[in-house]
Structure 1
């Protein structure tokens, strides 16, 4: 079983540096890292090249031009480029617990996708983390808003069983910043729906289609922990349209999307 870690980013190289530092200090390393870059400037490119020079772990920079919020599209390009059996997906503003990759791999099951929680860091602590390249946090760290999510109890997840119903409830439990899938399953649903642009619902929509395909969903708690840096919320002006696309996907019998990894 091989694993690719996909990190989505856009014009926040100082945060990406924290993610990459935490990724390279994993107790179990992924087989490769792919930076899914939604059109950042050369500053991010330079940072990626810096990390490529300091590690033998393959790091690939998957980039397209800046044409608005196109997270679905850049993730699809990265999924297609990934060489591993298993995809672990995070955002470029999340610092990873040392056992993050290990937990995703140990909890992986055939015909199942996973989604974990996140720990929210305060604005003050996030700024300190950026300045000091701080990647070590615990439930007792200052500036944590939901400490229970930072409590490391991975054995609790052994008893969690994959679920497939009810769709309406499960699809809103996923967090795109902390998910993992078998690449085979992602390809069979044709990846993310690239009609979804702007913030919101791309993770729920792909989860819906995976569930329709018969893939089970397993929620991870107190394992695969990540710390989310504080930032201003993205504009949500596209959310009504994305909600409409999600509702259309609910009504369809098909579990593939026409505008995905392959253009059908």
Structure 2
């Protein structure tokens, strides 16, 4: 089964560099990596170009103009072009545990989407992080909180079962799914503008479609680099979209990935 790692980013090449270094350090490589770029300046493109020779798999940069926070749009464009049957997703501010891809692919199963744990790297550790270009962490590393989430214990992960119910622990920065399921619900809902709820609303439509969600606790770990919160000016509107999805058991969003799929 071919897989695609999709990494979303916007104007933070310093963080993206660490994410790409962690992608190079994977125990199992994806068949391709796509950077879904929501309108970054040329510095991000230059970074990606510098990494292309280092990867044995294709490293693809998909970009569109900066017109505000349009993460749903750029992810739809990226996943539409993905050649992998299975999509593993991360954010450009989340350093990947060395087993990240292997862990997600290990649990990939029809009728299911997956989500893992996010460990937070603290603000006061950022200078050290970037100076050392650190990509390896354990539960005992300096500069992190929520340390138990950093425990990589494959034996314990088997006790976390799939569920019909959406989990509030779901994070779009650490998830995976079959591309065919993504297309079946029409991908991300592009009615979401600005930060908030685009990822959880997708997962809710996965459930409405009939998928189960499985948390891969103790595997599939990312380390989130601290940054200032993005504007939440649209959050109330985005909440309403999500609540409508719940109330109406919506499966298919009107404005989604279908517009980027070739016939």
| Residue 218 (structure 1) aligned with residue 235 (structure 2) | no
Q: Structure 2 CA distance, aligned partners of 1:126 and 1:81?
A: 34
- 1:173-212: CA deviations, max 9, x gaps? 3101000000010000000000001111011110111000
Aligned length: 260
What residue number does 1:198 align with?
Answer: 194
Q: Which segments of 5 or more consecutive residues in structure 2 lack a partner in the other structure?
A: none
SS in 2 for 1:161: coil
Q: Structure 1 CA distance, aligned partners of 2:182 and 2:72?
A: 13
| Residue 243 (structure 1) aligned with residue 239 (structure 2) | yes
What residue number does 1:60 align with?
Answer: 60
What residue number does 1:26 align with?
Answer: 26
What residue number does 1:175 align with?
Answer: 171
What residue number does 2:39 align with?
Answer: 39
Q: Structure 1 CA distance, aligned partners of 2:13 and 2:206?
A: 32
Root-mean-square deviation (Å): 1.3
What's the CA shift for 1:251?
A: 2.2
TM-score, normalising length: structure 1 = 0.95
Q: Structure 2 CA distance, aligned partners of 1:178 and 1:221?
A: 11
- Of 222, 229, 248, 2:225 maps to 229
- 1:6-46: CA deviations, max 9, x gaps? 00000000100000000011000011000000000000000
What's the CA shift for 1:171?
A: 4.8
What's the CA shift for 1:263?
A: 4.5
Q: Which segments of 5 or more consecutive residues in structure 1 lack a partner in the other structure?
A: none
Kindly report which structure 2 residues correspond to 1:1-264, keeping only aligned pairs within 5 A, or say none. Answer: 1-165=1-165, 170-263=166-259
CA contact (8 A) 1:190 1:256 kept: yes
- 1:104-140: CA deviations, max 9, x gaps? 0101111100111111111122222222211111111
What's the CA shift for 1:159?
A: 2.8
Q: Structure 2 CA distance, aligned partners of 1:87 and 1:263?
A: 19
What's the CA shift for 1:157?
A: 2.0
SS in 2 for 1:118: strand
